Amino acid sequence: MARPQKIQALMRRLKLRRQPQSINSLAEALSCTERNVKDIIRQLRDDHLVPISYDRQANGYFLDKNYGESFELNEVWFSSAELHALMTSHYLLTNIQPGWLDEYIRPLRGRIETLLKNASHDSEQLQQRVRILQIAARPTKPEEFKKVSDALLNRRRLYIVYHGRERDATTDREVSPQRLVYYRQNWYLDAWCHSRNALRSFAVDRLFPARILSSTAIDVPNEELDEHYASAYGIFAGKPNKIARLRFTAEAAKWVADEQWHNQEQSRVLRDGRYELRVPYRDPRELLMDILKYGSEVEVLGPVSLRKETARRIRSMHAIYREEA
């Protein structure tokens, strides 16, 4: 019997028996040693605050009248630290996407807060002490987000009306949702587009509106999704066909050396403290934004096309401020 099952078996026995239970009888019921039983009782007392008391006269263990305050959630046992971790996770999700899991979490949250009312800190303290700053996040309507997530999890197709910013065009499509991706503080839906017969990504905040269809969504293998979406740089999909070679100053290296730009990047620290980074990419648009934010602290060594485009953008910026230079 695994330890979680032993914990549950011990609790059931203590709940059902009115008289204190000897250590010997508990060990026999759990098919373990008396020492194991004592360890389990110690864990329940210390980690879960279960009020198991010992009756010296009866030479046995029992649950006292305050048992109702213990940390029990549907036969799954949590320590106070684990309960706070659950509350923290809910708080993070609520800030990332309001309303997503509220209907599922609200009953559990109320019970957790009741269980933690005697702890040193509660959910109100959590919200006061933990701040989440959303920069450049584009709000997604909870009702639209819920449709997308429901279709994704229930493996249903979606009918969407999508307005793409780059082309400033609106199209209607039928898609099979594959993954929801939270990237740079915004939500994207990776999906098989039946209109284009190919994988596509859609900014969830640009779906106007979404409708869940009765037809079953097709499943694209995870390996194919990873190859299509995760191999190139940033949000732009497709196999990388170029390698960006970047050299950062020693000052910028203090930050860049601790960052991961790509899971297949290559890097090295030069003798003078400068830092060289090689990044696979296909579409340079997002990569260019990340390069330019370092200003004069980075130089594009190659390829030539990326270096020229970086220089062109710098010239355009300089033209705006030429009179002030």
Among 229, 255, 277, identify where a domain stops. Answer: 229
Mean predicted confidence (pLDDT) in 287-302: 95
Mean pLDDT of the chain: 83
Q: What is the CATH number of the domain that holds 38?
A: 1.10.10.10
What are 64-106's pLDDT values in tens digits? 766 544 445 444 555 556 666 666 666 666 767 766 666 656 6
Q: Write out the residue range of the structural domain in which residue 277 sits.
A: 242-322
**53 and 21 in a common domain:** yes
Q: Which of 208, 229, 250 is the last residue of a domain?
A: 229
Residue 117 pLDDT > 60, yes or no? no
CA pair distance 230, 224, nearest whole angstrom: 10
Asked if 257 and 232 touch (Cβ cutoff 8 Å), the reply is: no
Instruction: Answer yes or no: do 146 and 221 share one domain.
Output: yes
**Structure tokens, 234:** 């940033």
Model confidence pLDDT, tens digit, residues 256-287? 999 989 888 999 999 999 999 999 998 999 99
Q: Considering the domain boundaries, does residue 234 fall inside one?
A: no
* Residues 175 and 99 occupy one common structural domain: no
Rg (CA), the chain: 28
pLDDT in tens, 189-230: 999 999 899 999 898 888 877 899 999 999 999 888 888 887
Whether 237 maps to a domain, the answer reads no
pLDDT on residue 304: 97
Total structural domains within the chain: 4
Based on the fold, state whether residues 113 and 155 are members of the same structural domain: no
- Assigned token pair, 273: 């403290």
The number of angstroms, rounded, from the C-alpha of 34 to the middle of its chain's C-alpha atoms is 42
The mean pLDDT value for 36-64 works out to 86
3-class DSSP assignment, residue 88: helix
Q: Tens digits of per-residue pLDDT, 147-179? A: 888 899 899 999 999 887 777 788 899 999 999
The pLDDT value recorded for residue 65 is 65
Cβ–Cβ under 8 Å, residues 83 and 71:
yes
Residues 147 and 221 in one domain: yes
Asked if the structure places residue 236 within a domain, the reply is no
Rounded Cα distance between 147 and 202, Å, is 14
Which pair of structure tokens corresponds to residue 151? Answer: 């279709």
Which region among 101-110, 127-136, 315-324 has the lowest average model confidence (pLDDT)? 101-110
pLDDT value at residue 2: 73
Which residue among 51, 71, 91 closes a domain? Answer: 71
Distance separating alpha carbons of residues 171 and 69, to the nearest angstrom: 56
Question: Looking at the domain assignment, is residue 137 inside a domain?
Answer: no
pLDDT above 90 covers a percentage of the chain that reads 38
Residues 155 and 212 grouped into a single domain: yes
Domain identity same for 224 and 259: no
pLDDT on residue 100: 62
Contact 93, 100 (CB under 8 A): yes
Q: What pLDDT sits at residue 73? A: 45
Within-domain flag for 98: yes
